[in-house]
Amino acid sequence: MKIVIDLFAGAGGESCGIHSAFDAQGENIKLFAVNHWEVACNTHATNFPSDECLCQSIQTVIPTDLVKPGESAELLWASPECTHFSTARGGKPMDDQSRCTPFDIIRWLTMIDVKRIIIENVPEFLTWGPLGKDLRPIKEQRGAFFAMFINAIHNIGYMVDWKICNAADYGAPTTRRRLFIQAVKKGSGKRIIWPEQKYAEHPEDSSEDLFDAERKPWIPASSIIDWSIPCQPIDERKRPLSPNTMRRIMNGIRKYWGEAAEPFLVRYNGGDHRYHSIHDPVPTLDTSNRYGLVEPMFIPQQSGGTVKPVDNPLPTVAGAGAIGLIEPLVMEYYGNGQCQPISRPLGTVTCRDRFALFRPENCRIGFRMLQPHELAAAQSFPDWYRFTGTKTDTVKQIGNAVCPKMAEALVGRAAI
């Protein structure tokens, strides 16, 4: 039975992928999961009762208690804290102490024999360096700590490589991009292998190698949305959406609903297909007025508000599309968040509610936040996976998790 160690295990996203990969190889593993948050530990134990979950900081765990002298760990996976490297912080000052966790991995590698290492973090981890007095990165020393970290792994006797991977390229319906560092111990007989990309945003346009034609399109967000949950019409909300939210909605309508967001002419008689673009000449006129102008509208949410065209300025308003809205859209709640059609994978899931769905509801716009089970599906957690804790706890666990599909792809190749 092979020993696997999962440091900073969280709710078990990487453990889920690791188990799937080794199961596919017909290998039995003994997995030790280390995490400090009790709620996440409970989730891990609920889904993988045969694993040994140590609910404590990795600094307090003695590595030789898990891997005895003379034994080897087949794999050590580590996902050290990434919030202080992430652009999602919005430029907030950082804290040196909370940025030290990656170097804790070095202690484990010096105390036990590990054949293969996989480390996951945000792409900004490549720029890890010292902070100035204002607790912000020193530009001239960007990447200095990252280089030290890689050199330390080299010096212990490992070959190291790294790559930024998009989870959508490996079968997860999210465009979550993460940096993965792989290292194999010299003399272990192992080699660094990167998984084959099996999905692409535009597989028909790929021509880099002979295998591109076999790639499948990205799995869309529509596959993870629970369409049985109704969307509340925006104009029925007790609390108006913010101007920024409405601005994103209207920009999304203009971008993705195309002609549905533009005015058009409709003929009063002659069948169901007598409508014409305002960019074309008016068709033949007769002695009667047969044409009407149709244009999408929004309804201001303030009391007494009147219906206005979509090309008006947007104060505090709620959208109410009037004509032929084509498909639902998913909106991201980031500082630079945008609307995306559900034909694309979901953006990166974070540990807070960041995604909303809006869709046509009887020629009005329905709006709701995506629910935890939809976010879990976007991260590629299987249907049977269960989370413990409150709804807020669940969203946090999902957002902090490694995509199981991504872990499975990495470990599946590495297990050879």
Provide the CATH number for the domain around residue 172: 3.40.50.150
pLDDT above 50: residue 308:
no
310 and 162 assigned to the same domain:
no
For residue 351, what are the domain limits?
Answer: 232-370
pLDDT in tens, 3-36: 999 999 999 999 999 999 999 999 999 999 999 9
279 and 339 assigned to the same domain:
yes
198 and 149 assigned to the same domain:
yes
Q: For residue 346, what pLDDT is reported? A: 79
Residue 393 within a domain: no
Q: For residue 182, what pLDDT is reported? A: 97
275 and 354 assigned to the same domain:
yes
90 beta partners: none
Residue 375 within a domain: no
Estimate the crossing angle of helix 404-414 against helix 13-24, to 10 degrees: 40
342 and 407 assigned to the same domain:
no
pLDDT above 50: residue 302:
no
Residue 147 within a domain: yes
pLDDT above 80: residue 213:
no
pLDDT band for 187, please (50, 70, 90 cuts).
Answer: very high
d(CA 303, CA 285): 41
110 and 160 assigned to the same domain:
yes
pTM: 0.78
pLDDT top residue among 206 and 216: 216
The phi, psi pair for 16, rounded to 5°, reads -60, -45
204 and 290 assigned to the same domain:
no
54 and 178 assigned to the same domain:
yes
Residue 414, burial from CB neighbour count under 10 angstroms (0-12, 13-18, 19+):
buried
Q: For residue 321, what pLDDT is reported? A: 27
pLDDT band for 301, please (50, 70, 90 cuts).
Answer: very low
Mean pLDDT of the region 126-151: 89
52 and 143 assigned to the same domain:
yes
pLDDT above 70: residue 229:
yes
Mean pLDDT of the region 333-345: 70
Q: For residue 178, what pLDDT is reported? A: 93
Tokens of 406: 């991504």
User: Do residues 101 and 80 touch, judged by C-beta distance below 8 A?
Assistant: yes
Q: For residue 157, what pLDDT is reported? A: 97
d(CA 85, CA 365): 37
Q: Percentage of residues in the chain with pLDDT exceeding 90? A: 45
Residue 148 within a domain: yes
52 beta partners: 32
At position 301, the amino acid (one-letter code) is Q
pLDDT above 60: residue 175:
yes
Mean pLDDT of the region 88-114: 71
pLDDT top residue among 96 and 127: 127
Extract the runs of DSSP E, i.e. beta strands, from 107-257. 116-121, 158-166, 177-185, 199-200, 216-217, 232-233
Mean pLDDT of the region 140-152: 93
d(CA 387, CA 175): 22
134 and 268 assigned to the same domain:
no
pLDDT band for 322, please (50, 70, 90 cuts).
Answer: very low
244 and 314 assigned to the same domain:
yes
Mean pLDDT of the region 231-258: 74
pLDDT top residue among 57 and 101: 57
291 and 347 assigned to the same domain:
yes
pLDDT above 90: residue 402:
yes
pLDDT above 70: residue 265:
no
pLDDT in tens, 378-399: 899 999 999 999 999 998 899 8
Residue 73 within a domain: yes
Would you state the torsion angle of the CA atoms of residues 236, 242, 247, 252, taken in this order, to the nearest 10 degrees? -60
Residue 389 within a domain: no
Q: For residue 82, what pLDDT is reported? A: 57
Q: Percentage of residues in the chain with pLDDT exceeding 70? A: 70
Extract the runs of DSSP E, i.e. beta strands, from 189-251. 199-200, 216-217, 232-233
Residue 257 within a domain: yes
Mean pLDDT of the region 74-82: 89
d(CA 238, CA 221): 28
pLDDT band for 305, please (50, 70, 90 cuts).
Answer: very low
Q: For residue 334, what pLDDT is reported? A: 62
d(CA 245, CA 338): 9
pLDDT band for 159, please (50, 70, 90 cuts).
Answer: very high
Q: For residue 106, what pLDDT is reported? A: 95
Residue 274 within a domain: yes
Q: For residue 277, what pLDDT is reported? A: 59
Our count of domains for the chain comes to 2
The closest alpha carbon to 380, from 409, 351, 353, belongs to: 409
pLDDT band for 234, please (50, 70, 90 cuts).
Answer: confident
- Residue 15 has a CB neighbour count (10 Å cut-off) of 27
